[in-house]
Structure 1
Amino acid sequence: METLKNKIAVITGGNSGIGYATAKEMKAQGATVIITGRRPEALDRAVNELGVTGFIADQSSIIQTEDLVKKIETQFGKIDILFINAGIAGTAPIEQATETLFDSIIDINFKGAYFTLSKFIPLLNDGASVVFLSSNTASMNGVHSSIYSSGKAALNSVMRIAALELAPRGIRVNSVSPGPTQTEILNKIGMDETARKNLDNWMIERIPLKKMGQPGDVAKMVAYFSGDAAKFITGAEVVMDGGMSLA
């Protein structure tokens, strides 16, 4: 069903994982889709596979975000959907955390997401939908996850305040908080194959539904938030983690 027909959607970090799956889902629902990415080769591949428009942009750079906004405004005008998805993972005990690790995670996951919203607000049509990709770790207390978790918790706080600030224009702001999801980001945390398998098994044991999430599941929820079926929902966080945060 083309429930997003005539909508223009921007997805940051749309060349892989949840962003890629969401771009595919939104296009299937009739939206005109624009994705961003930091790696030219990966972005070009995704653009060709999905049949969408792509722009190179690093979410951690405010200058690049401002340039992205100008390019999209010139080519498309106003937009109806903004999915702030780009992010990275990283873990460290607080005692061993480095400024470099802290800055790399916060610059993309929090500061970058914050200013992506800030700079895109003038481009949002009245009645538009904004969705943040958060994480179930925002409300959990896992060891070694202090930087990542605090960034996502801060993002949820911004989401709720933005929902109030943008409500007079009918713009809805929500967040989706997945648990462990089978995406490329899990391959980028420096583990070998055995360690990665052990991590997957460890996570699955802590999920009541005994399975990890799939990018397509999250994509469908983001698309739902972006359509008319969710027109009375704002300031909401939906946790999608198979019950992990309940256990």
Structure 2
Amino acid sequence: MTRHTNKKAVVIGGTHGMGMAVAELLVEGGAEVLITGRDQRNIEAAREKLFSRAHVVQSDISAMGDIATLGAEVGQKLGQIDLLHINAGVADLEPVEHVTEASYDRTFNVNAKGAFFTAQRLLPLIRDGGAIVFTSSIADESGTGGMSVYSGSKAALRAFAKVLAAELLPRRIRVNVVSPGFIDTPTMGVAGASAQERAAFVKIGDAVTPMKRHGTAEEVARAVLFLAFDATFTTGARLTVDGGLGQDLSPIPA
């Protein structure tokens, strides 16, 4: 399979979960890929999984110094790129009264500030006619309890994407957002949750999703690559991968 031969891509937050699934499909398709991650264990696991098929770089999206260094490293290793996929994100499920300044800043520093400045730093390296795809969440327009800060950060990300789509029209760089629902990943999107909390989260997701199951990381990855390479007349859009959760679907009564 070589449909991405001669393509170059950067996947921010690509060492596990949905980002890794995107990286694997790109590599299988013949692309040259650079992925980033913050956790050393995930970085080592990614290097073992991908061997020499991808550049694996330790970089913290919430650190401005790391973003600057990453820009130089991408330029050195890849030069011009065809796709920037910003997938890194964090979620703390907290009711409003439990939110602290530290937890608020942590979420926005990764999901909004880090994503924005990473895109800004790498913009000069994206070929005219290339693509940016942000990973948001169906929470970017929902009102689920306990997700106020997370939802706000993802709504900001979606707004950034729409403005970037407008500003980059002269360069023909398309900017889109993929918004997953409940997806099977190692952390289920909540890194600090216990095994019991994740199990409960899975049950809730299966119950409320109209298709009565979680999505797979590969299903999200295929949506990302569709936006990146196939949706050539689409920009400023939001594609949900949520099993119908955000679509107000009701089954026919028995």
TM-score w.r.t. the length of structure 1 is: 0.96
Amino acid at match of 2:26: M
2:46 corresponds in structure 1 to 46
Q: CA deviation at 1:225?
A: 1.4
Matched, 1:241 2:203: no
Deviations 1:190-224 (A, max 9, x none): 43333322221112111100001110000111111
2:139 to 137, 140, 143: 137
Amino acid at match of 2:196: T
Amino acid at match of 1:149: S
Judge conservation of contact 1:89–1:185 (CA < 8 Å) in 2: no
Judge conservation of contact 1:59–1:113 (CA < 8 Å) in 2: yes
CA distance in 1, matches of 2:220, 2:63: 26
Q: Provide structure 2 residue ranges, at least 5 long, that are not aligned to the other structure.
A: 249-254
Judge conservation of contact 1:182–1:212 (CA < 8 Å) in 2: yes
Q: CA deviation at 1:41?
A: 3.2
1:30 corresponds in structure 2 to 30
Q: CA deviation at 1:80?
A: 0.9
2:129 corresponds in structure 1 to 127
SS of aligned partner of 1:185: coil
SS of aligned partner of 2:183: coil
Deviations 1:16-69 (A, max 9, x none): 000001000111122111100112332132123122111110000111111011
1:231 corresponds in structure 2 to 232
Q: Provide structure 1 residue ranges, at least 5 long, that are not aligned to the other structure.
A: none
Higher relative contact order structure (alpha carbons within 8 Å, sequence separation ≥ 6): 1
Residues 91 and 188 from structure 1, CA distance in 2 versus in 1: closer, same or farther, beyond 3 angstroms? closer
CA distance in 2, matches of 1:79, 1:3: 16
Q: CA deviation at 1:3?
A: 2.2
1:207 corresponds in structure 2 to 209
2:251 corresponds in structure 1 to none
CA distance in 1, matches of 2:214, 2:119: 29
SS of aligned partner of 1:184: coil
Amino acid at match of 1:7: K
Amino acid at match of 2:98: Q
Judge conservation of contact 1:88–1:185 (CA < 8 Å) in 2: no
Judge conservation of contact 2:92–2:192 (CA < 8 Å) in 1: no
Matched, 1:6 2:6: yes
Deviates more, 1:191-200 or 1:73-82: 191-200
1:1-247 to 2 correspondences below 5 Å: 1-50=1-50, 51-186=53-188, 188-227=190-229, 229-247=230-248
RMSD, aligned CA: 1.3
Q: CA deviation at 1:182?
A: 0.9
CA distance in 1, matches of 2:114, 2:175: 17
The number of aligned residues is 246
CA distance in 2, matches of 1:187, 1:40: 18
TM-score w.r.t. the length of structure 2 is: 0.93
Q: CA deviation at 1:173?
A: 0.3
SS of aligned partner of 2:9: strand
Residues 244 and 6 from structure 1, CA distance in 2 versus in 1: closer, same or farther, beyond 3 angstroms? same
Q: CA deviation at 1:114?
A: 0.6
CA distance in 2, matches of 1:56, 1:106: 20
**Percent identity between the aligned chains?**
36
Deviates more, 1:181-190 or 1:114-123: 181-190
Q: CA deviation at 1:189?
A: 4.3
SS of aligned partner of 2:202: helix
Residues 119 and 94 from structure 1, CA distance in 2 versus in 1: closer, same or farther, beyond 3 angstroms? same
Judge conservation of contact 1:12–1:84 (CA < 8 Å) in 2: yes
From the two aligned structures, give the one with the greater helix fraction: 1
SS of aligned partner of 1:83: strand
CA distance in 1, matches of 2:175, 2:128: 12
